[in-house]
Structure 1
Amino acid sequence: MNIFVAGLMMETNSFSAIPCTRRAFEGAMFYRPEVLGPQPEPQAYEQFGYRTFLRLAKERGYGAYASLHAFAEPAAPCRQEDYESLRDEILHDLRRSMPVDMVFLMLHGAQMAHGYDDCEGDIIERVREIVGPDVFIGVELDLHGNISEKMLETSNALVACLLYPHTDFDERGEQLFELGERFARGEIRTRNYYQRVPMLGIYYTTLPRMAAVNDAAREVQQRDGVFSVSLMHGFPWANQPDTGAGVVIVADPDCAEAPDLAVALGRRFFAARDETRNLRRPIDDILDEIESSPEAGLFVIADVADNPGGGAGSDSTFILRRLLERNIQPAVLGMIWDPVAVDFAFEAGVGNRLTMRLGGKTGPFSGAPVDADVTVVALSTDIAQEDPAGDLTFALGRAALLDVGGVRVVANSIRQQVFDPCCFTAFGVDLSTVRVAVVKSTQHFHELFHPLAKKVFYCETPGALTLDFDPRRYGRLQRPMWPFDGDAAPA
């Protein structure tokens, strides 16, 4: 058999001030095989589920045609011509690869572009037009995707990761690949069943109630005629009609109980809606608890509302300002995306002092900049983080460790969330001697920071990813929707 593999991943924040163009993909993760298969190049194995599909094809002796795989950091909707050029490269490669028996796409689920609310649905529909009605189209998604009717109708199987942090892309990709093989051999037929869950939020699968919902989803997967279950958390900062959570069950078209199973899971999912939201606390409450604690150890504060992994600017100053005002030491904070400040630090050099305006540049959700006398502690151009699954590395670019009134702040030139303690330790910071570490991330930091922490706090600020949603900004949602409407609940 022959398979075709491609990927295009970007999570779109309708309210982000950060533009997205083709350069955003080319500067983050952009893989283009020099030759269009029949065998994948070895370096193609290094990226999300895309890697999994190619690995399994090689193990089974299938011909594998590897097309574009591109990823951009979350931001505003992509420029139309740039999205269309990336999509059309994939479609061009698919036409050249025909005939194929299976198509596997690594998509996000919440990508928007100017003129397109539903980039995933657009891509899958155009792939279907090329391959015809009988070829398997399997799509692996991030659980923060928003599901459209077009995605459900034009694919054979939508399978998302179940864990947040997303450490199970490989496992779920293997599950999707097996479905594709069984379909292509004529052993099964598939249908996507969907139950909408009308809620906006973030849901950590490391917490007890959400872990129990995931366990229930895995139990449903063991039912006769059910092949896969995905809990779609949705991406709540997308202002479009399909935004919200849901349950996707891939099952036999004759599985009569699939719709009822989706409804039951949806209700259980909805019942856990407050669990993560209730973790978020104001910064002064958190600092009061830390200061009153007699125990030694590292306290980690997640600056969840300024997570660049959701489209925020990663330059808000709300927490930094309170650390300085309350003289909380020893403390570290990372990473502030401020290429101008980084340039000044490199010009000044290690050990030198300068007056600097730090952060607060990308918009009102970033707060006011901090003006301070700063000492340049260290500089680097070669630090890279590993993602929680250990699959990818993300270079920080030009980065500086700055002493800002006793708080050591990492500023860098490539906007990205904190995954890995190396963004501090590579500068020589010994986290065992630090009282407070502030990380600009919502949850992907948890895998590597939690083992180091006495306690982890989630801090709510007026940042771009606040869970204090303003209904006036959401003019295109389907209503009712929790938390705006008291009568919102799964059907």
Structure 2
Amino acid sequence: MRFVIALMRHETNTFSPIATPLRAFSRGSSTDGPLYGDDAVRACQGTNSAAAAFMDIAQRQGDEFVMPLMANAVPSGIVTAEAFESMAGTIVEAVRAGCDAVMLDLHGAMVAEGFPDAEGELLARIRAVAPQVPIAVALDFHANFSDALVGNATVIAGYCTYPHVDVYETGARAARTLMAALRGEAKPVLLWRTLPMLTHMLRQTPRTQPMKDIMDRAMAAERDGEVLNASVFGGFPLADIPHTGLAVVIVADGDRMDTGQRLLDELCDMAWERRADFVFPLEPMQTSVARARELAHWPVVLVDHGDNCGAGGPTDEMTVLGEVLRQGLDGVVAGPFWDPAAVAELVGAGVGQTVTLDVGGKTDMPALGLKGTPLRLTGRVQCITDGNYQVTGPMFTGMKLSLGRTVVLDVGGTLVVVCEKPQEPFDSGVFTHAGIDLSRRKYILIKSRQHFRAGFEPIAKEIVLVAGPGVCSSDYSQFPFRNLRRPIYPLEPHTTAKHA
């Protein structure tokens, strides 16, 4: 058989001020823009990605495959029309050339100019040129669902973890069902539902309640053969589009649809009954930092979750670092902060030089009425690197990432890491590649939500969540939602419709 395998991933925060052009789809590459053909294959092989699982399965079966595209961007604002047309066109043309099936490693929360569900639009275009070709899709836990996305897929499987450490396994799950269908051993039928509820991303993880029992039940049903695949999606709540919300997708065998429907109802009922538990209670930023200052077991990981590029933030909001310095926490390493202009100035000064400059605060966030405010720092340039490192932790293991040129600035014992490219610190390589020994730091200040747990939870003695300002805030009252399906919980607390 011949397969088309492609990777196209982006989580779009529609409130982010940072547009996403084609050149941004270079995550995992030191070049600008996507990788194509053999370059894409080489970049994916041996990594914790669904695309790697697709390739491994095809190779084990002795089948052929082509990989027209690997396009992966750090979460940010809306994808430009030009970028989407280029990526979608590349994939569709590969399918048009002929194949027995398509296997796609997608995110599920990409919003492009003119297309609130970019993945659904991609699948519709594939269907237009190959109406009968089976399509298996591996999706992020934060996918949002439309009729187009589900209606044009043959198989869908989603990550069961957050942090996402089972990406390869998700690809394998989707591919197994696809291969069973190709052999005539299964007749996949998709059953799905989106609930009218915005979950908070700090309350979504299947590691703990309220999601744990729900995801455990779905995984058990798939493992025990009740259904072909069962996936629960926390959804990406920072997308102001009509199909945002928690969703459940079941791939049932055509001969056991009743079983699949009962499971769908059960999982949706569990989630809806726990809707209040998916709301994250906020603590004032100053209180969180003060609480961290009193802890006596180090290192303490301070997590600024309001400005996380893993959910579309620019990562140049400096309020939390300013508060950490104001309250006098010592032995701190902080970052990485995105500021190419500051990097250029620091590189120009050189290692060992003392520099006074404004760091961060270059980005306004008009959707929330926030103005960028730089933080003036004086420090010694301790280290300059190319920012390249390979992930050694459990999330996206083996992937090569780049922060661009990166500088470590020593500000009175506090190490501030400034970089040219934004990157959520889900792997300690953001610091260790620059020679920073995290075991010798009392406080590690990073911008993340849950993914930091993959690389930093094993070394943390304490974790303190800090609600800094930004377009990733957990305070939904700050966001001018206009396109959500309404009513929706918790924006309308008395929402009673169980199923959308």
TM-score, shorter chain, exceeding 0.5: yes
SS in 2 for 1:3: strand
SS in 2 for 1:360: coil
Q: 1:95 to 1:102 in 2, by over 3 A?
A: same
The 5 A counterparts of 1:16-55 are: 16-26=16-26, 29=29, 30-34=34-38, 43-46=43-46, 48-55=49-56
Name the counterpart of 1:372: 377
SS in 1 for 2:87: helix
Q: Could you report, residue by residue, the CA deviation over 1:18-48 in whole angstroms, capped at 9, with x for unpaired residues?
A: 111111114654321159xxxx955542452
Could you say what the CA RMSD is over the residues aligned between the two structures, in angstroms?
Answer: 2.1
Does the 8 A contact of 1:75 with 1:311 survive in 2?
A: yes
Residue 466 (1) aligns with residue 470 (2): no
> Which piece of structure 1 moves more, 376-385 or 142-151?
376-385
Q: Could you report, residue by residue, the CA deviation over 1:398-443 in whole angstroms, capped at 9, with x for unpaired residues?
A: 1111123542110000111112223223333332222211111111
Q: Could you report, residue by residue, the CA deviation over 1:68-123 in whole angstroms, capped at 9, with x for unpaired residues?
A: 12111111111112211111111111111x1x222111111011111111111111
> Which piece of structure 1 moves more, 423-432 or 390-399?
423-432
Q: CA deviation at 1:173?
A: 1.1
Equivalents in 2 of 1:162, 1:41: separation in Å? 25
Does the 8 A contact of 1:302 with 1:442 survive in 2?
A: yes
SS in 2 for 1:306: coil
Residue 410 (1) aligns with residue 417 (2): yes
Q: 1:25 to 1:472 in 2, by over 3 A?
A: closer
Q: 1:484 to 1:277 in 2, by over 3 A?
A: closer
Residue 266 (1) aligns with residue 268 (2): yes
Name the counterpart of 2:150: 152
Which one of 421, 428, 432 corresponds to residue 425 of structure 1?
432
Name the counterpart of 1:80: 81
Equivalents in 1 of 2:233, 2:260: separation in Å? 16
Q: 1:401 to 1:366 in 2, by over 3 A?
A: farther
Name the counterpart of 1:121: 120
Does the 8 A contact of 1:280 with 1:458 survive in 2?
A: no
Q: 1:363 to 1:271 in 2, by over 3 A?
A: farther
Does the 8 A contact of 1:350 with 1:378 survive in 2?
A: yes
Does the 8 A contact of 2:28 with 2:43 survive in 1?
A: no
Which one of 286, 289, 292 corresponds to residue 287 of structure 1?
289
| One-letter amino acid matched to 2:297 | A
SS in 2 for 1:181: helix
The 5 A counterparts of 1:54-453 are: 54-96=55-97, 98=98, 100-133=99-132, 135-200=133-198, 201-202=200-201, 203-222=204-223, 226-254=227-255, 255-273=257-275, 275=277, 277-278=279-280, 280-293=282-295, 295-364=296-365, 365=370, 367-386=372-391, 388-453=395-460
Does the 8 A contact of 2:289 with 2:466 survive in 1?
A: no
Q: CA deviation at 1:274?
A: 5.2
Equivalents in 1 of 2:38, 2:461: separation in Å? 48
Q: Could you report, residue by residue, the CA deviation over 1:51-76 in whole angstroms, capped at 9, with x for unpaired residues?
A: 11111101111121222121111111
| One-letter amino acid matched to 1:33 | G
Does the 8 A contact of 1:141 with 1:160 survive in 2?
A: yes
Identity value in percent? 30
Does the 8 A contact of 1:330 with 1:406 survive in 2?
A: yes
Q: Which runs of 5+ in 1 are unaligned?
A: none
Does the 8 A contact of 2:384 with 2:406 survive in 1?
A: yes
| One-letter amino acid matched to 1:102 | A
| One-letter amino acid matched to 1:62 | D
SS in 2 for 1:158: strand
SS in 2 for 1:204: coil
Equivalents in 2 of 1:137, 1:433: separation in Å? 49
Q: Could you report, residue by residue, the CA deviation over 1:181-236 in whole angstroms, capped at 9, with x for unpaired residues?
A: 11111111111111212222211222243222211111222565511111111111
Q: Which runs of 5+ in 2 are unaligned?
A: none
| One-letter amino acid matched to 1:257 | T
Q: CA deviation at 1:366?
A: 6.7
Q: 1:280 to 1:362 in 2, by over 3 A?
A: same
| One-letter amino acid matched to 1:463 | G
Q: 1:367 to 1:5 in 2, by over 3 A?
A: same
> Which piece of structure 1 moves more, 114-123 or 73-82?
73-82
Q: CA deviation at 1:8?
A: 1.1
Does the 8 A contact of 2:13 with 2:312 survive in 1?
A: yes
Number of residue pairs matched by the alignment: 483
| One-letter amino acid matched to 2:289 | L
Q: 1:13 to 1:222 in 2, by over 3 A?
A: same
Equivalents in 2 of 1:270, 1:68: separation in Å? 38
